[in-house]
Structures are given as structure tokens and as C-alpha cells.
């Protein structure tokens, strides 16, 4: 199955971001992708954290959700929509939600980001807890590819990458493809992005597809980029350093099967 990890440098205006995402999804479809994954915050990188509150949507209805459903139908793609703000019970917080759409435009899965980013090195400070409510449940969904394989896809977002227990639970649920839409900062990405992605692939002997924000944004934030696809043995098979683009690769279910037979670590788990 050909997958596409879409890298963006999202701006403040939602409509401009959706227009760019549409063009990149079209590139992915034209190249033969079956699954396209957008980065975290693909639809908006606000001037302030609280901008997310103004663009929140009700689950099942809204501009961004309509865009994703329409694009899935238009391009005949499975699309995982990075993240978008969905309402929570607290008016001062939203969920940072990743939604999966089938080619018929139906939403087949929703994952609310569980682990919320906090970082303060004295020069940069980020605290997602100010406006984002944490999710509570790991989520997988079934994706039947054109070659007849049924992929079990595990959803995660950005800072989740630092918590291997989430990915082990996704693997326990049968995931052989792990998605990590992200907006890693340039500082933390340079230090940890690739090694963490490779570690999650190695630990779970699963494919990892990680689309990212990658560049200097209109709001002044600088993200690391380096969107990539990692195979079940931990090898980086495709990547893009920075700037907008589509990272494509044909992933093979047989690579998962052979890795898990040769090194059956999942069956050796004790704790």
C-alpha cells in the first residue's frame, strides 16, 4: 500500500491552510497513494494558543471536518486529518483530535491526543494544557488496502511519541501501522524526533508514518519537519527535511510478518 506523509508549514488563516492541504492531497492521490496523513495542526497554527478555541468544531459537523470528508471522496483516499480542535465539555479547552476518513467520506475513527506537551528551556515555553483537554483512550481502526491486506492502524499525535506504553497497547490491539502526525519544535525535533520514531517502530515491529510541520511559521514558531516513513526494523525508508511536500512510500505487510516471526518480542512481553 502506498502511503503519503504530508509535510506542511501551516499559517494562521484556516482557509489558506485548507487550500494548501487540498493541493498536497491531490499530489498524493495522483502519485497513487491509498492513505494520506496530514500533520498536527494542519488546519491552523494560530497567533495565540487560544485561537484554537475560536475554531473549535462539534464532532460530526464543521468546516474542517467537511473539508476532510469531501477530499476523501474527491481523491478516493483514506485520509487521517492530522489534528483539529473539537469541543469539550469545558468552554476553555478543546480536544486536539485526529480523525480518519474512508474514501467514501465517512469518518471511521477519532483519537483525542492523550499526552499534552509541556516544554520550558528558558528561551522557549509551550504548555498545551492551557487550552487542550487530554484524551483517555487508545484508538485503532481497520483499513482494507487494495491488495487485500487488512491493516490495523494505530493513532497517536506528536508528544505521545515519548510514551512507549501507548504504542505497546496499540500493538496489543493488533496495530501493524502506527501514525504520528506532529508539530515537533525545532529544538526538540533536532534532538529526539528520528530516534523516537525508530524506537517505536523497533519496539512494536510495525510501520511508522510520521507527517510533520516543517519550517518557520507565520506566528514565528519554528518546527522541525523531517516527515518520514520507518519500516518495522527501524530503518528510515523515506523522508523530507523541511518545507511543504509529500513523502511517499510503498509499505509491505510482509515486512511486518517476517520481522515478528524472526524476533517475536511481542509474544515475549512479561509486564
Which residues does the annotation mark as catalytic? Answer: 40, 113, 158
* Spatial contact of 131 and 94, defined as CB atoms under 8 Å apart: yes
Cα distances (angstroms) measured from residue 194 to each of 102, 178, 226, 228: 29, 15, 8, 9
| Euclidean distance between CA atoms 173 and 37, whole angstroms | 21
**Whole-number Cα distances in Å, 182 to 93, 104, 144, 173:** 20, 26, 25, 22
How far is 156 from 178, CA to CA, in rounded Å? 8
Cell representation of residue 66: 467537511
Sign of the alpha-carbon torsion through 176, 116, 25, 4: negative
Beta strands 94-101 and 132-133, pairing class: parallel
Neighbours of 84 (CB within 10 A): 28
Amino acid at each position: 500500500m502506498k502511503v503519503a506523509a504530508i509535510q506542511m508549514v501551516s499559517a494562521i488563516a484556516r482557509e489558506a491552510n485548507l487550500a494548501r492541504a487540498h493541493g498536497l492531497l491531490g499530489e498524493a492521490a495522483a502519485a497513487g497513494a491509498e492513505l494520506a496523513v496530514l500533520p498536527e495542526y494542519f488546519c491552523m497554527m494560530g497567533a495565540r494558543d487560544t485561537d484554537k478555541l475560536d475554531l473549535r468544531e462539534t464532532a460530526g459537523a464543521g468546516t474542517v471536518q467537511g473539508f476532510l470528508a469531501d477530499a476523501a471522496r474527491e481523491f478516493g483516499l483514506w485520509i487521517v486529518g492530522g489534528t483539529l480542535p473539537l469541543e469539550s465539555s469545558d468552554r476553555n479547552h478543546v480536544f486536539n483530535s485526529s480523525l480518519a476518513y474512508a474514501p467514501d467520506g465517512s469518518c471511521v475513527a477519532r483519537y483525542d491526543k492523550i499526552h499534552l506537551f509541556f516544554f520550558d528551556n528558558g528561551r522557549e515555553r509551550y504548555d498545551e494544557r492551557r487550552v487542550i483537554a487530554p484524551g483517555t483512550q487508545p484508538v485503532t481502526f481497520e483499513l482494507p488496502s487494495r491488495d487485500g491486506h487488512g491493516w490495523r492502524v494505530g493513532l497517536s499525535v506528536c508528544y505521545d511519541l515519548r510514551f512507549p506504553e501507548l504504542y505497546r497497547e496499540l500493538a496489543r490491539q493488533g496495530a501493524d501501522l502506527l501514525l504520528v502526525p506532529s508539530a515537533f519544535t525545532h529544538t526538540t525535533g533536532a534532538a529526539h524526533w528520528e530516534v523516537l520514531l525508530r524506537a517505536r517502530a523497533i519496539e512494536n515491529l510495525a510501520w511508522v508514518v510520521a507527517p510533520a510541520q516543517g519550517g518557520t511559521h507565520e506566528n514565528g514558531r519554528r518546527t522541525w519537519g523531517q516527515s518520514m516513513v520507518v519500516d518495522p526494523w527501524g530503518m528510515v525508508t523515506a523522508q523530507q527535511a523541511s518545507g511543504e511536500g509529500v513523502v511517499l512510500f510503498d509499505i509491505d505487510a510482509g515486512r511486518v510478518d517476517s520481522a515478528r516471526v524472526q524476533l517475536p518480542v511481542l509474544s515475549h512481553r512479561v509486564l
